[in-house]
Amino acid sequence: MIITISGPPGSGTSTLSSVIADYFKLTYISSGDMFRAMAKERGVSLEDFGYIAQTDPAIDKQIDEHQVEVSKNGDDLLFEGRLSGRFIDADLKIMLKTDIRVRARRISERENISFEQAMQETLIRQESEAKRYREIYDIDISDLSPYDLVIESSIWNPKATVQLAITAIRSMKKRDLRD
């Protein structure tokens, strides 16, 4: 089984991905971890690396191509990434949709920064990613049609979000057994 989980920063993708990967014994591959590692390798902040990625499409392409290649050569995988659901042929593509104020609050708490700073950084990052994905791939990230399941994670707490995803995955597995 291959599952993708996508969503903007602060939507809960890392939390959901980690729990789902453990629960279903899936190998967890995170594009965000790759992006952060590349920024660290270059000695720049995430925000600065986002600006660099705007002028160097090879950065996003490298991350996306790596995920696609891994997906073709494996099974029992979970991919977390903004574009994973658009490029990977998955059994289930999940998108977490979350109000920006909720995301900024979560980020401020997680990173121990002010809400205002989190909001500003989130808006900058969101704009940077939307611009890059439009320019590199002609993708409108506000289009959720590629996803099988969209969960509004502003409404549900993390535990409920996990339960919704587990229920969907279990029903897929039962369906596969009947087919």
pLDDT score, position 60: 85
Backbone angles phi, psi at 16, to 5 degrees: -60, -45
pLDDT score, position 174: 62
Mean pLDDT by 10 residues, the chain (179 residues): 94 95 96 90 88 86 90 92 94 96 95 96 88 90 95 92 95 61
Reduce the secondary structure of 105-140 to three states and give it as a string. HHHHHHHCCCHHHHHHHHHHHHHHHHHHHHHHHCCC
pLDDT score, position 179: 47
2-178 topology per CATH: Rossmann fold (3.40.50)
Residue 74, both tokens: 């494996």
Backbone angles phi, psi at 98, to 5 degrees: -150, 135
Indicate the DSSP class of residue 73: T
* Residue in 9, 86, 101, 16 with CA at minimum distance from that of residue 46: 9
Longest distance between any two alpha carbons in the chain, whole Å: 52
pLDDT score, position 178: 44
| Torsion on CA atoms 143, 109, 67, 135, rounded to nearest 10 | 40
pLDDT score, position 74: 82
pLDDT score, position 51: 81
pLDDT score, position 99: 95
pLDDT score, position 44: 94
CA angle 33, 36, 42 (to 5 degrees): 140
pLDDT score, position 151: 96
Per-domain residue ranges of the chain: 2-178
**Three-state secondary-structure class, residue 1:** coil
Q: Is the dihedral of CA 93, 101, 51, 143 positive or negative?
A: positive
Q: Is the dihedral of CA 9, 83, 153, 27 positive or negative?
A: negative
